Structure 1
């Protein structure tokens, strides 16, 4: 199938549908996770802008090498993660930690095209404090509006 591309109405067409740029951006900014994409050249290319990011970002990081976005003492870990994902030694690398009273889950995913070629790394960070507390089942909608 062809790569996603804008059609005549300014929509980006995918195999499973199409979205306007505004819809795509709104979806990415609605996800309950922080996402940051680093391309195959190790440059930060995108991050979503949710209301309360766990690890705040500024637009100044766009185009910067991922190594420049981390403290010197952790660069060797950053390099190992990216190299393992690039080489296919791992598809995902996970960490979890307590951060200011919240339990945070950080995952790094190898992003590959349809041919299996590495196109970058996706960092997904989520506050799972409340998720960890879930028990039993909830299958019905609450009547009370938030």
Structure 2
């Protein structure tokens, strides 16, 4: 895959077209990016969050868990962290993944959150174009 052939505006449009919240926290624990899905974010962000320490984006009672995840990503003892919560009658799935360069150096963490309420109810199969 060669992203060098895509400009930033196209890459942002791709991330905004996916109906999930995507946030990237850099290696210094600062929010560096978040997408703006057309249907809106589950966890709202503003431009003021860019550059903000991620620890300031979470409730105080979860800071030890946030820091443990980031430490595990930095030192390579964790390859992901998965959570799910009930929020306003919706089932929210939250995944964290470390981002590394080709040499394995830690670049930061990506957070992907999605409303999985309807996913939990799926049964059987639905093939492509089975509208």
TM-score normalised to the size of structure 1? 0.83
More helix by share: 2
More strand by share: 1
How far off its partner does 1:73 sit? 2.2
The corresponding residue for 1:133 is 121
Matched position secondary structure for 1:45: strand
Instruction: Please list every run of 5 or more consecutive structure 1 residues that lacks an aligned counterpart in the other structure.
Output: 1-13
Residue 19 (structure 2) pairs with residue 36 (structure 1)? no
Name the SS of the counterpart of 2:19 in structure 1: coil
Q: Could you say what secondary structure the match of 1:121 adopts?
A: strand
Change (3 A) 1:16 1:68: closer
Aligned equivalents of 2:19, 2:104: Cα separation in 1: 28
- How many pairs align? 130
How is 1:48-67 mapped onto 2 (pairs within 5 angstroms)? 48-50=35-37, 51-67=39-55
Larger-gyration structure (1/2): 1
Partner of 1:71: 59
Higher relative contact order, structure no. (Cα contacts within 8 Å, ≥ 6 residues apart): 2
Q: Name the counterpart of 2:9.
A: 22
Structure 2: gaps (5+ residues): none
RMSD value over aligned CA atoms? 1.5
Give the ranges of 4+ consecutive aligned residues of structure 1 lying more than 3 Å apart after TM superposition.
none
